[in-house]
């Protein structure tokens, strides 16, 4: 695997490598010692398998407030998704900036998103399945959502037409409301 830090410090794109033959392929998706070289230290507590039936389905921007923050390791096992992450770390040079990575079965990439980021997924194909590993348990009372279509963020979701979102995501707070209430997050 090849690991490279993206433009938002602490977020890593992980290019997986396969060994292929007539039977199919074999692929390593986790290697503790390799991750530690980049200060990626994971103690995983939960894993989720997510299916978005329709292209244009957006889930996010989600995160949990401290001390329940969660690091995420995300991989596509079917289809293609735009994985978006928003820096909420108030002391960061990239506070309030977002970046994204396309994850697909074909490109065999994963993304590592540490504490201090909001996270979202946008299905770029029908029937897109994601595996998301977390380092902290889901805590409903600590959950927070920032509006996926916040005009101040100007996120390019790479879809045409109307997005498909849950009622909860449609009624999320703006980034400005988050900053006003929490003044960002500690790194």
Residue 67 covered by a domain? yes
Residue 3 maps to a domain:
no
Residues paired with 89 in a beta bridge: 185
Question: Using 50, 70 and 90 to split pLDDT, how confident is the model at 185?
Answer: low
pLDDT in tens, 149-168: 999 999 999 999 999 999 99
CA of 34: how far to CAs of 3, 27, 28, 40, 177, in Å?
9, 15, 11, 9, 39
pLDDT of residue 183: 77
Q: pLDDT: is 160 or 54 the higher one?
A: 54
The answer, yes or no, to whether residue 178 has pLDDT greater than 90, is yes
7 located within any domain: no
**What is the band of 186 on the pLDDT scale with cuts at 50, 70, 90?**
low
48 confidence band (pLDDT: 50, 70, 90): very high
In a domain, 32, yes or no: no
Cis peptide before 58 (omega within 30 of 0): no
Which structural domain range is residue 93 located in?
Answer: 42-182
Domain harbouring 119, CATH code: 2.60.120.10
The total number of residues written for the chain in this structure = 187
Query: Mean pLDDT throughout 104-123?
Result: 97
Is 76 inside any structural domain? yes
In a domain, 37, yes or no: no
Phi, psi of 161, rounded to the nearest 5 degrees: 85, -170
Distances 116 to 52, 58, 74, 169, 187 between C-alpha atoms, Å: 25, 20, 16, 19, 6
**Mean pLDDT value across the chain:** 95
Residue 150 maps to a domain: yes
- Amino acid 146: pLDDT: 98
Q: What percent of the chain stands above pLDDT 70?
A: 98
Q: Are 153 and 85 within 8 A, CB to CB?
A: no
Q: How many other C-beta atoms can be found within 10 angstroms of the C-beta atom of residue 123?
A: 27
Number of domains in the chain: 1
In a domain, residue 20? The reply is: no
Strand order in the sheet with 128-134: 2-5, 12-15, 109-113, 72-78, 128-134, 46-52
């Amino acid at each position: 695997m090849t690991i490279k830090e993206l433009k938002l410090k602490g977020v890593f794109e992980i290019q997986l490598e396969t060994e292929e033959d007539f039977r199919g392929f074999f692929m390593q998706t986790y290697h503790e010692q390799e991750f530690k070289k980049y200060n990626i230290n994971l103690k995983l507590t939960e894993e989720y398998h997510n299916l978005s039936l329709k292209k244009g389905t957006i889930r996010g921007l989600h995160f949990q407030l401290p001390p329940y923050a969660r690091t995420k390791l995300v991989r596509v096992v079917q289809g293609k998704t735009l994985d978006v992450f928003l820096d909420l770390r108030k002391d960061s040079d990239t506070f309030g900036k977002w970046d994204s990575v396309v994850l697909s079965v074909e490109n065999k990439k994963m993304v590592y998103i540490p504490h201090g980021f909001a996270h979202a997924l946008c299905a770029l194909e029908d029937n897109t399945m994601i595996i998301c590993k977390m380092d902290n348990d889901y805590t409903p009372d600590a959950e927070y959502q920032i509006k996926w279509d916040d005009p101040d963020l100007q996120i390019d979701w790479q879809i045409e037409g109307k997005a498909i979102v849950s009622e909860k995501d449609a009624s999320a707070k703006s980034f400005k409301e988050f900053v006003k209430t929490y003044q960002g997050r500690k790194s």
